[in-house]
Amino acid sequence: MKKIILLSLFTIAMITGCGDSTDVVTSDPVAAAAPDMNSQSDTAEGSLSGSLQALTLAELSAALSNSNTRAEADKVRDAGRKPAEVVNFLGIEEGMTVIDLVAVSGYYTEVLSHAVGASGTVYMQNSPASLTGDRGTRTEAAIVARLADNRLANVDRLNRDFADLGLSPNSIDAAVIALEIHHITRDPDAAGNFFAYIRTVLKPGGILGVVDHAGNPGSDNDAIHRADEEQVIGLAETVGFALVGT
């Protein structure tokens, strides 16, 4: 069964297993469900290593912090976003094929690039419409700067809509959407279609990771850029996802 993991920033995390029991976690969510990723790695400063292996949490954190080509603005964001912990929680590792959905300028694209290594692939997805107009022009310029000189050689841009990703069914190990699902769930029908499209390209047992700020049921979460967790989970489960953890 294809799975969804929902990460709610700055909240208590809950992990729902395959059975009927629920474990309540009162600390950092990544400590609760982090897969064993202990293996040797080459974390040479400032580059994507050709011998990069499945990084431990500490190694990935160090690789992101010590990179001499990664933008300082991204490093500042790390304190709040905890990207290495998110990747560890989702079980993303060396050699995987993953997609960063609504990647915008690619903060998570670069994180995922380090995580999957030279033997993995990261698709950086943005809709064509999102790259037009004043804001889209700025986004495009930021993407070009991030990918300049082939510095993230395992990243492929995918400027396509969800309904036409151009990817083979059952070809993606993991998909991540960060701080964008609250826009999609404005329209429950469109959100249902989104989850269905992503489910098609994920491998059996593939992971969809959703990262957003948690809103409150019944509140105007869209106005404050928050997501209703129960709504997100329900929409995903409707098309065949199973909740693994939050």
Please classify residue 234 by burial: count the beta carbons closer than 10 Å to its beta carbon, then call 0-12 exposed, 13-18 middle and 19+ buried: middle
Q: Which two tokens stand for residue 86?
A: 């998110």
> In sequence order, what are the residues at sequence separation of 6 or more whose Cβ sits closer than 8 angstroms to the Cβ of residue 31?
25
CA angle (77, 199, 189) in 5-degree steps? 85
| Model pLDDT, residue 217 | 73
Q: In 10 A of CB 161, how many CB atoms?
A: 14
d(CA 16, CA 66): 35
pTM of the model: 0.80
pLDDT in tens for each of the 246 residues of the chain?
Answer: 666 665 544 222 222 223 333 222 222 333 222 233 333 333 333 334 333 345 788 999 999 999 999 999 999 999 989 999 999 888 899 999 999 999 999 999 999 999 999 999 999 999 999 999 999 999 999 999 999 999 999 999 999 999 999 999 999 999 999 989 988 988 889 999 999 999 999 999 899 999 988 877 777 777 778 888 888 888 988 988 888 887
Q: Which two tokens stand for residue 85?
A: 């912990």
d(CA 110, CA 244): 25
d(CA 75, CA 107): 10
Nearest to 1 by CA among 246, 190, 245, 237: 237
The gap from C-alpha 84 to its chain's centroid, in whole angstroms, comes to 11
| Model pLDDT, residue 163 | 95
Helix axes of 57-66 and 107-116: crossing angle, nearest 10 degrees: 130
pLDDT in tens, 8-30: 442 222 222 233 332 222 223 33
Q: Which residues of 54-93 are buried (b: 16+ CB within 10 A; e: fewer)?
A: bbbbebbbbbbeebeebbeebeeebeebbbbbbbbbbbbb
d(CA 11, CA 238): 25
SS3 call for 29: coil
Amino acid at 152: L
Contact 131, 102 (CB under 8 A): no
